[in-house]
């Protein structure tokens, strides 16, 4: 039986949306929900207000307080505008950059946001069409803006859209601005508070001039132009999976000197419906099916894919049997950082103040690589805003040369402050040429890293729990893990538990130490005697709880050991899953 109090509450909220302040399309959608005897959609659309969190907004598109629409986007933009006017009151003119991806309604939401900013007396640099997320970050810094937004739901299914907020350094907002913006957004309780009527004189359309500056800066990241010149015609398949990467990634690859980029015509079509895939996520093997098929047809040596807003990179490589396999996010980061650090060493570019950054859930093999190369490594929370925070703290003191996270994100430069598939793919193509120059395949490069620095295998599992009930289940799962900490994983004793919510590390003898992090986070980590690591955290942007499992301590001394090492690791991961109850 439905909760009568909840139904009464959502009905009252929905009836407000029948008022004259809302457009006809919205009123009709809300009326249909109210008239439907099945109240599921009504409850899901109104049981809460779509939360403007530290990463902005993300949700299913539709009418309602818990949906992405012009009113929830409008409230977010009005709140951000109010916060900017308070923080930069002394400036004669505040400015923001506004971008968007390929998703349905993204352009509409971007134009409405531009109108609201301009109605509040804020100068707007609005991109003329869809652009990669990292270019929005670049534009904020290049144009001297105080903030920026990008309308995107990254790699989420087609029903979703989102709203990312950036600060003046081009990074997504963190303390104190995150909570400050949230407070202002939460004050917008009536659509009459939102200034929808824009001032065209304060909206400037930008496009190709920023593209050129962005691509020229990315080209400066190339470390082996001589190798590219020798192997410029290496066949590489690239797909944007219907997204924004189609605008700049082929251009950047050409700018680097590559002359044999093979397209996937069906997926060059820009579409928020993502017609050729179930999920436009380069982490999903099915998303690369068409690209791999194209690679087989053309005898390509590398497959690359970007997600809809072109900040994530996925790759596929051929193994020693000629089969195409997907590299995981950890392997992508390892390949990138191994190449950068090795090339810096070989070319005498190290000055002793270089550093890299990874997130706490990313493979510990990266730490080993950095230590062996005498390069500092910093750990941070999941999300590129935390990598950007480390870059900002060390700006002018140490030199950032790369950073990444297991969720298929990498950033090679400091003139952008969010993960960047445009630069990452340009460098990945360069790595393919570099490997070829050394008589190696990309698959062998991955194996070489394991032989040199120790084998590891990672597996991510996301348990999806949708809606109000799902959110409650995720809370209960985290509570159970805290109250009943695991003693063993895969037969190996747990020797350390790190709880980033209490910022404590507890060893197997009961000794407790404090963790040095900038704030708390709802993450648990287990470390075993064999060097394995398991991390558990709820997603901040999706209705799921995530498990990150890393197996270590399995010997690998030559290429012939690789298959056996993977087999042993898979068995151990299955044991981890059983212990975790997933």
Residue at a domain's end among 412, 436, 453 = 453
Residue 51: band (very low, low, confident or very high) from pLDDT cuts 50, 70, 90: confident
**Does some domain include residue 22?**
no
pTM above 0.85, yes or no: yes
Following CA atoms 462, 466, 471, 476 in sequence, which dihedral angle do they give, to the nearest 10 degrees? -60
Provide mean pLDDT across the span 268-278.
97
CA distance to 6, 382, 462, 474, 547, per residue, from 539 (Å): 26, 10, 9, 10, 10
The pLDDT of residue 541 is 64
Q: What is the pLDDT of residues 507-561, one digit of tens each?
A: 999 999 999 999 999 999 999 999 999 999 998 767 899 999 999 989 999 999 9
**Does some domain include residue 254?**
yes
Q: What is the pLDDT of residues 317-365, one digit of tens each?
A: 999 999 999 999 999 999 999 999 999 999 999 999 999 999 999 999 9
Closest C-alpha among 476, 310, 319, 290 to residue 408: 310
Q: Strand, coil or helix: what is 117?
A: helix
Kindly state whether residues 499 and 425 are assigned to the same domain. no
**Does some domain include residue 20?**
no
**Does some domain include residue 19?**
no
* C-alpha to C-alpha distance for 155 and 329, rounded to whole angstroms: 14
Kindly state whether residues 235 and 373 are assigned to the same domain. yes
CATH number of domain containing 240: 3.40.120.10
CA-based R_g, the chain, Å: 24
Cβ–Cβ under 8 Å, residues 526 and 494: yes
Kindly state whether residues 250 and 380 are assigned to the same domain. yes
Residue 68 has pLDDT above 80, yes or no: yes
DSSP string, 162-204: EEEEEETTSSBP-TTHHHHHHHHHHT--SGGGS--S--GGGEE
Cβ–Cβ under 8 Å, residues 312 and 132: no
The dihedrals phi and psi of 88, each to the nearest 5 degrees, come to -120, 40
**Does some domain include residue 38?**
no
CA distance to 109, 223, 350, 413, 418, per residue, from 344 (Å): 43, 8, 6, 14, 23
The dihedrals phi and psi of 9, each to the nearest 5 degrees, come to -65, -50
Kindly state whether residues 197 and 98 are assigned to the same domain. yes
Q: What is the average pLDDT value for the chain, to the nearest integer?
A: 95
Residue at a domain's end among 404, 425, 453 = 453
Which residues are marked as active site?
Answer: 154
Kindly state whether residues 61 and 161 are assigned to the same domain. yes
Kindly state whether residues 202 and 297 are assigned to the same domain. no
Provide mean pLDDT across the span 404-416.
96
Neighbours of 217 (CB within 10 A): 15
**Does some domain include residue 25?**
no
Cβ–Cβ under 8 Å, residues 365 and 449: yes
The pLDDT of residue 1 is 37
Kindly state whether residues 61 and 96 are assigned to the same domain. yes
CATH number of domain containing 532: 3.30.310
* C-alpha to C-alpha distance for 269 and 277, rounded to whole angstroms: 12
Kindly state whether residues 448 and 465 are assigned to the same domain. no
Provide mean pLDDT across the span 154-182.
94
CA distance to 95, 283, 528, 531, 582, per residue, from 364 (Å): 41, 20, 13, 9, 23
Q: Strand, coil or helix: what is 494?
A: strand
* C-alpha to C-alpha distance for 354 and 340, rounded to whole angstroms: 11
The pLDDT of residue 366 is 95
Q: What is the pLDDT of residues 446-503, one digit of tens each?
A: 999 999 999 999 999 999 888 878 888 899 999 999 999 999 999 999 999 999 999 9
Kindly state whether residues 262 and 396 are assigned to the same domain. yes
**Does some domain include residue 16?**
no
Kindly state whether residues 395 and 285 are assigned to the same domain. yes
| Percentage of the residues of the chain whose pLDDT score is greater than 90 | 92
Residue at a domain's end among 166, 187, 206 = 206
Closest C-alpha among 196, 122, 131 to residue 164: 131
Provide mean pLDDT across the span 197-220.
98
In which domain, by residue range, is 388 found? 214-453
Total domain count for the chain?
3
* C-alpha to C-alpha distance for 568 and 582, rounded to whole angstroms: 19
Kindly state whether residues 200 and 221 are assigned to the same domain. no
**Does some domain include residue 231?**
yes
Tokens of 40: 């599921």
Q: What is the pLDDT of residues 98-121, one digit of tens each?
A: 999 999 999 999 999 999 999 999
Kindly state whether residues 173 and 221 are assigned to the same domain. no
Cβ–Cβ under 8 Å, residues 431 and 335: yes
Cβ–Cβ under 8 Å, residues 174 and 380: no
Task: Considering only residues 470 and 313, tell me which one the structure prediction assigns the higher pLDDT.
Answer: 313
């Amino acid at each position: 039986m439905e909760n009568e109090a909840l139904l009464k509450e959502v009905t009252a909220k929905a009836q407000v949306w029948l008022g004259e302040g809302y457009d006809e399309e919205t009123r009709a959608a809300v009326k249909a929900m109210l008239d439907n005897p099945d109240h599921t959609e009504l409850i899901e659309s109104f049981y809460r207000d779509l939360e403007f969190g530290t990463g902005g907004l993300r949700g299913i598109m539709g009418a309602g307080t818990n949906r992405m629409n012009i009113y929830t986007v409008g409230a977010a933009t009005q709140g951000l505008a109010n916060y900017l006017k308070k923080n930069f009151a002394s400036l004669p003119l505040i400015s923001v950059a506004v971008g968007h991806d390929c998703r349905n309604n993204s352009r509409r939401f971007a134009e409405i946001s531009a109108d609201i900013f301009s109605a509040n007396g804020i100068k707007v640099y609005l991109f003329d069409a869809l652009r990669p997320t990292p270019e929005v970050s670049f534009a904020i810094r290049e144009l001297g803006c105080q903030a920026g937004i990008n309308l995107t739901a990254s790699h989420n299914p087609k029903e979703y859209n989102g709203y990312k907020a950036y600060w003046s350094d081009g990074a997504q907002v963190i303390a104190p601005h995150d909570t400050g913006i949230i407070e202002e957004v939460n004050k917008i309780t009536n659509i009459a508070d939102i200034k929808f009527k824009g001032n065209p004189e304060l909206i400037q359309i930008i496009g190709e001039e920023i593209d050129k500056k962005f691509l020229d800066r990315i080209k400066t990241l190339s470390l082996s132009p001589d190798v590219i010149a020798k192997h410029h015609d290496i066949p590489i398949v690239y797909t944007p999976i219907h997204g924004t990467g189609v605008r700049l990634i082929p251009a950047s690859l050409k700018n680097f000197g590559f002359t044999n980029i093979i397209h996937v015509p069906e997926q060059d079509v820009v579409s928020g419906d993502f017609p050729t895939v179930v999920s436009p996520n380069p982490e999903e093997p099915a998303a690369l099916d068409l690209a791999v098929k194209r690679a087989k047809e053309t005898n390509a040596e590398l497959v690359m894919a970007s997600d809809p807003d072109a900040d994530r990179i996925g790759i596929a490589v051929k193994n020693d049997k000629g089969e195409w396999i997907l590299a995981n996010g950890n392997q992508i980061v390892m390949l990138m950082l191994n190449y950068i650090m090795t090339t810096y060493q070989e070319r005498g570019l190290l000055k002793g103040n270089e550093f890299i950054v990874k997130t706490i859930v990313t493979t510990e093999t990266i730490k080993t690589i950095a230590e062996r190369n005498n390069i500092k490594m910093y750990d941070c929370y999941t999300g590129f805003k935390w990598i950007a925070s480390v870059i900002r703290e060390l700006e002018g003191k140490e030199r950032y040369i790369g950073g990444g996270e297991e969720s298929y994100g990498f950033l090679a430069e400091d003139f952008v402050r969010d993960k960047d598939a445009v630069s990452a793919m340009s460098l990945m193509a360069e790595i393919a040429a570099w490997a070829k120059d050394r008589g190696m395949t990309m698959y062998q490069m991955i194996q070489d890293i394991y032989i040199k620095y120790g084998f590891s295998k990672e597996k991510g599992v996301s348990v999806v729990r949708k809606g109000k009930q799902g959110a409650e289940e995720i809370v209960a799962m985290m509570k159970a893990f805290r109250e009943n900490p695991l003693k063993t994983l895969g037969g190996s004793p747990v020797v350390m538990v790190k709880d980033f919510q209490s910022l404590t590390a507890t060893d197997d003898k009961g000794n407790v130490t404090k963790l040095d992090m900038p704030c708390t986070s709802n993450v648990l980590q287990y470390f075993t005697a064999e060097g394995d690591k398991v991390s558990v955290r709820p997603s901040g942007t999706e209705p799921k709880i995530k498990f990150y499992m890393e197996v270590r301590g399995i010997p690998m001394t030559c290429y012939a050991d690789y298959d056996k090492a993977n087999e042993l690791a898979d068995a151990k991961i299955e044991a981890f899953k059983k212990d975790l109850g997933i």
